[in-house]
Amino acid sequence: MHPARGRTATGGARSRPYRVGLVSFLRIRAFDVSVLTEVWGTVRTTRGVPPFTLLTLRRAAATPDSVAMSGGLSLAPNRSLGRLARADLVVAPGLESPAAFAQAAQPAGSSPIAR
Protein backbone atom coordinates (compact mmCIF):
# COMPACT_ATOMS: atom_id res chain seq x y z
CA MET A 1 0.00 0.00 0.00
CA HIS A 2 1.38 3.38 -0.94
CA PRO A 3 0.10 5.68 1.83
CA ALA A 4 0.34 8.86 -0.21
CA ARG A 5 -1.83 7.52 -3.00
CA GLY A 6 -4.39 5.39 -1.11
CA ARG A 7 -3.81 2.34 -3.29
CA THR A 8 -2.90 -1.23 -2.51
CA ALA A 9 0.40 -2.75 -3.66
CA THR A 10 -1.42 -4.25 -6.67
CA GLY A 11 -2.80 -0.86 -7.71
CA GLY A 12 -6.41 -1.28 -6.48
CA ALA A 13 -8.16 1.45 -4.55
CA ARG A 14 -8.25 1.11 -0.76
CA SER A 15 -11.68 0.02 0.46
CA ARG A 16 -11.65 1.90 3.80
CA PRO A 17 -9.95 4.94 5.35
CA TYR A 18 -6.61 4.49 7.10
CA ARG A 19 -7.18 4.16 10.84
CA VAL A 20 -4.72 6.19 12.91
CA GLY A 21 -4.68 5.55 16.66
CA LEU A 22 -3.60 8.44 18.89
CA VAL A 23 -2.66 6.96 22.28
CA SER A 24 -3.43 9.37 25.11
CA PHE A 25 -1.45 9.61 28.34
CA LEU A 26 -1.62 11.94 31.30
CA ARG A 27 0.27 15.19 30.54
CA ILE A 28 0.79 14.61 26.81
CA ARG A 29 1.91 17.68 24.90
CA ALA A 30 -1.01 19.67 23.53
CA PHE A 31 1.12 20.84 20.59
CA ASP A 32 1.83 17.24 19.52
CA VAL A 33 -1.87 16.35 19.72
CA SER A 34 -2.77 19.42 17.65
CA VAL A 35 -0.30 18.43 14.93
CA LEU A 36 -1.62 14.87 14.85
CA THR A 37 -5.22 16.03 14.59
CA GLU A 38 -4.31 18.47 11.81
CA VAL A 39 -2.42 15.85 9.79
CA TRP A 40 -4.80 12.90 10.24
CA GLY A 41 -8.03 14.56 11.36
CA THR A 42 -8.55 16.93 8.43
CA VAL A 43 -10.23 15.67 5.24
CA ARG A 44 -8.12 16.39 2.14
CA THR A 45 -9.51 13.82 -0.29
CA THR A 46 -10.26 16.54 -2.87
CA ARG A 47 -6.49 17.06 -3.10
CA GLY A 48 -5.74 13.38 -3.68
CA VAL A 49 -4.89 12.53 -0.07
CA PRO A 50 -6.43 9.26 1.10
CA PRO A 51 -9.08 9.40 3.84
CA PHE A 52 -8.09 8.86 7.47
CA THR A 53 -10.06 8.01 10.60
CA LEU A 54 -8.39 9.37 13.73
CA LEU A 55 -9.11 7.28 16.83
CA THR A 56 -8.13 8.82 20.17
CA LEU A 57 -7.37 5.90 22.46
CA ARG A 58 -7.39 6.07 26.24
CA ARG A 59 -4.70 4.24 28.19
CA ALA A 60 -7.09 2.54 30.61
CA ALA A 61 -10.16 1.03 28.97
CA ALA A 62 -12.20 1.34 32.17
CA THR A 63 -11.55 5.08 32.53
CA PRO A 64 -13.98 7.18 30.46
CA ASP A 65 -12.59 10.44 31.83
CA SER A 66 -10.80 13.05 29.78
CA VAL A 67 -6.99 13.10 29.79
CA ALA A 68 -5.16 16.16 31.17
CA MET A 69 -2.69 17.62 28.67
CA SER A 70 0.00 20.25 29.06
CA GLY A 71 -1.14 23.86 29.14
CA GLY A 72 -4.31 23.11 31.11
CA LEU A 73 -6.10 21.48 28.16
CA SER A 74 -7.80 18.10 28.13
CA LEU A 75 -8.50 15.40 25.55
CA ALA A 76 -11.63 13.21 25.52
CA PRO A 77 -10.58 9.85 24.05
CA ASN A 78 -13.27 8.18 21.96
CA ARG A 79 -11.98 4.59 22.03
CA SER A 80 -10.28 2.17 24.43
CA LEU A 81 -6.91 0.51 23.85
CA GLY A 82 -8.83 -2.57 22.71
CA ARG A 83 -9.08 -0.84 19.31
CA LEU A 84 -5.30 -0.53 19.01
CA ALA A 85 -4.95 -3.71 16.94
CA ARG A 86 -7.37 -2.30 14.34
CA ALA A 87 -5.24 0.77 13.68
CA ASP A 88 -3.05 0.93 10.58
CA LEU A 89 -0.76 3.42 12.33
CA VAL A 90 -0.35 4.11 16.06
CA VAL A 91 1.09 7.41 17.28
CA ALA A 92 1.94 8.54 20.81
CA PRO A 93 2.38 12.26 21.44
CA GLY A 94 5.35 13.46 23.45
CA LEU A 95 5.19 14.18 27.16
CA GLU A 96 6.16 17.32 29.07
CA SER A 97 9.22 15.67 30.63
CA PRO A 98 10.88 12.26 31.16
CA ALA A 99 9.50 12.23 34.72
CA ALA A 100 5.98 12.55 33.30
CA PHE A 101 6.56 9.34 31.33
CA ALA A 102 7.11 7.34 34.53
CA GLN A 103 3.76 8.54 35.86
CA ALA A 104 1.97 7.99 32.54
CA ALA A 105 3.24 4.42 32.26
CA GLN A 106 1.70 3.37 35.57
CA PRO A 107 -1.61 1.50 35.52
CA ALA A 108 -4.44 3.69 36.75
CA GLY A 109 -4.70 3.67 40.56
CA SER A 110 -1.28 2.10 41.19
CA SER A 111 1.41 3.47 43.47
CA PRO A 112 4.28 5.56 42.05
CA ILE A 113 7.16 3.76 40.38
CA ALA A 114 10.15 3.32 42.70
CA ARG A 115 13.22 5.28 41.69
| Beta bridge mates, 80 | 58
In this prediction, residue 46 carries a pLDDT of 92
In this prediction, residue 97 carries a pLDDT of 67
- Segment-wise mean pLDDT, segments of 10 residues, the chain, 115 residues: 48 76 84 89 89 78 72 84 86 74 56 42
**Domains in the chain: boundaries:** 18-96
Kind of pairing, strands 79-80 and 89-91?
unpaired
SS (H, E, C) 35-50: HHHHHHHCCCHHHCCC
Are 52 and 41 in contact by the 8 Å Cβ rule? The answer is yes
CA atoms within 13 A on the CB side of 84: 13
CATH 3.40.50.880 given to domain 18-96? yes
In this prediction, residue 99 carries a pLDDT of 66
User: Which residues in the chain belong to E strands, given as ranges?
Assistant: 18-24, 52-58, 67-68, 74-75, 79-80, 89-91
In this prediction, residue 101 carries a pLDDT of 58
In this prediction, residue 88 carries a pLDDT of 93
